[in-house]
Amino acid sequence: MAQGKPPIAVLFVCMGNICRSPTAEGVFRKLHQELAPELDIEVDSAGTHAYHVGEPPDARSYAAALGRGVDISDHRGRQVTFQDFHDFHYVIAMDSDNLRRLQALRPKSGGAELRLLLEYAPQAGLLDVPDPYYGGVAGFERVLDLVEAGGRGLLEEIRKRHG
């Protein structure tokens, strides 16, 4: 870790910040610890809407993540702020709808790189991480598979650019 250099800051964003983005935050934190602990990275998540501010993760997201050794129990939902576009190097949307919302919210002076998570996982064959909220348990497992693939690609990109 370079002295005096700020950590690489990554923000994962979905709609309500109780399913996909906290799962991505937890999975990415674990990948970072396991695969690139030498990199100084900070991770957070937020939602484009204020539906679940202050709430814990959806119980199904929590259970699915814990089943893979990812504990997201400390997470509490929050909404994206204008400051996030200044504080984070990467603002990573879970789907195209939330990417459009982020593009509309982004201040002109915001320097964050704004991308879809699955742009870092072309092998996934899709760009949007589907919202599992109204579906069954299989949807939450699918989210875990996709965010792990995207997280691995993003971590590799960070390593190339900042490592």
Give yes or no: 20 in active site: yes
Tell me how far apart the alpha carbons of residues 12 and 101 are, in angstroms, rounded to a whole number: 14
Whether 3 is in a domain gets the answer no
Residue-wise pLDDT for 17-30, tens only, equals 999 999 999 999 99
Residue 2 lies in a domain: no
Catalytic residue among 14, 19, 58, 84: 14
DSSP 3-state of 20: helix
Residue 49 within any structural domain of the chain: yes
Q: Is 138 within a domain?
A: yes
Contacts 24+ apart (CB under 8 A), 76-79: 77/16, 77/17, 77/18, 77/22, 77/47, 77/51, 77/52, 77/53, 78/17, 78/45, 78/46, 78/47, 78/53, 78/54, 79/17, 79/46, 79/47, 79/48, 79/49, 79/50, 79/53
Any catalytic annotation for residue 29? no
Q: Could you report the per-residue pLDDT of 77-121, keeping only the tens digit for each?
A: 999 999 999 999 999 999 999 999 999 999 999 899 999 999 999
pLDDT digit string, tens, across residues 29-87 = 999 999 999 999 999 999 999 999 999 999 999 999 999 999 999 999 999 999 999 99
Q: Total domain count for the chain?
A: 1
Catalytic pick from 44, 95, 128, 131? 131
pTM higher than the cut 0.85: yes
Any domain includes 1? no
Domain for residue 110, yes or no?
A: yes
Is there a catalytic annotation at residue 128? no
Question: Which of 19, 20, 78, 84 is an active site residue?
Answer: 20
The residue written with tokens 């490592």 in the block is 163
